[in-house]
Structure 1
Amino acid sequence: MKKQLVALLLAATVTAGFTGLPAGQAYAATPTAIIVSGVNLRVQPDVNSRSYGLLKTGEKVTILSQANSYWYQVRDSQGRTGYVSTNSKYIKTSGSTNGGNNSGVTDSSSVRARIISAGKKYLGTPYEFGSDRSNTRTFDCSDFVRQAFKDGAGITLPSDSRGQGAYVKSIGRTTTNWRNLQPGDLMFFMAYKGTSASAYPSNTSGQTIAHVGIYLGNGQILHTYSKDSGGVRIDNIAGKHWESRFIFGGSAIK
């Protein structure tokens, strides 16, 4: 009888030990993964979170859970538990699939062209701040970008511009020079402070994202930003306040 009681207590303890895992997919078989390109081991599933250090190429880690579409919770060879990007550019998994809304979508010129084409179909759609994500009658900036990617590539991005910026950073292909962008990349901007370039800081690092749009190539952006502007539209970037407000941009396609 005592042996049975001890066994039951041990089983309860083991079960309780798993309740501390973050919300998301939990792995019963604790699959291993290999780091294919140096990546930060973060304290929290956030690109702005403190890093324990860089996991080196070839290092093996154990996947404990998938916190969300963009982050795995892992344990490294030193026994540290933290978070790494689910992007296959950084980690190759075994016994699990690479999570994310971009599963099966390859970053190619044809995918980018479909996203741009899908976005252009909404030219002139009225602007509404905090627009309803369940319909396409009106858009704010992030809602429009999200819809273009959903229609053109079947990719569901985060619903707000800051979340979209964090997602692009988690993929890792970003630039602070808009002239280095490819058509279909996302562009992130700080808040409007006027038309003069001197109104904006020369060092954009740490600036808060207030706007997002899709780069079309040839110095143009497809986006929406106010009722007075006429809704979804195309604007030139060079020499405009868009150039001064630009923080960073990059691909949202894995």
Structure 2
Amino acid sequence: MTKLSVNINKIAVIRNSRGGNLPDVILAARNIERFGADGITVHPRPDGRHIRYDDVRNLKRVLTTEFNIEGNPIPSFIDLVTEVVPTQVTLVPDAADAITSNAGWDTLAHREFLSEVTRRFHRHGIRVSIFVDPLPAMVAGARACGADRVELYTEGYASRYAQHPEASVAPYVAAAEEARRQGLGLNAGHDLSLENLRYYISRIPWTDEVSIGHALICDALYYGLENTVQLYRRELKTVQE
């Protein structure tokens, strides 16, 4: 079954808005694991506006499921990841002032850089996923860089799903089929939600992992965190039983 990795950045945003340690990011992550998530995702940025580098170090000490660290592979990020050694690193081309991820890598133009970064992480036994737009050429380019997986940037799917579900998912199916041809693992993330997740997975059931943060944490305000994790797992399980 497709694994659910929960991005906990938004929990850190709430904590940082007041200072102190409420809510407790580490406790939340451990509870999310206990509630049934298959992994925890974090996306530390240099300005520390949500997950901080020390959070990443502290999480590594206590997590028992897969740990996925996302981010732009600037020197400080590379140093952090090679220090912590998570299960997976997801390379995302974020500008320093980006509110959130808004594009995938051009894996052709940046092949030399991405290849070197990938080799460095592989030397530490870390699985490497490259964040790409749903374009077969970018998927093939990620394979040429030595990546183990790609993560398809699903904002485009999510924004059009309600009006045009079939058209919205079509480029993702094509990109996912290319990933399968290339022998790449397949992840997906950004704006997936209870409303659109089941349809996406029904069309691309060989997706290895979805990384979901914003929508899941928002839903937890209404349904409770434990129930929300189970609701998302149910969407994945219902499709793949």
TM-score, structure 2 length as denominator? 0.25
Q: Which entry has the higher C-alpha Rg, 1 or 2?
A: 1
Higher relative contact order (CA 8 A, sep 6+): 2
TM-score, structure 1 length as denominator? 0.24
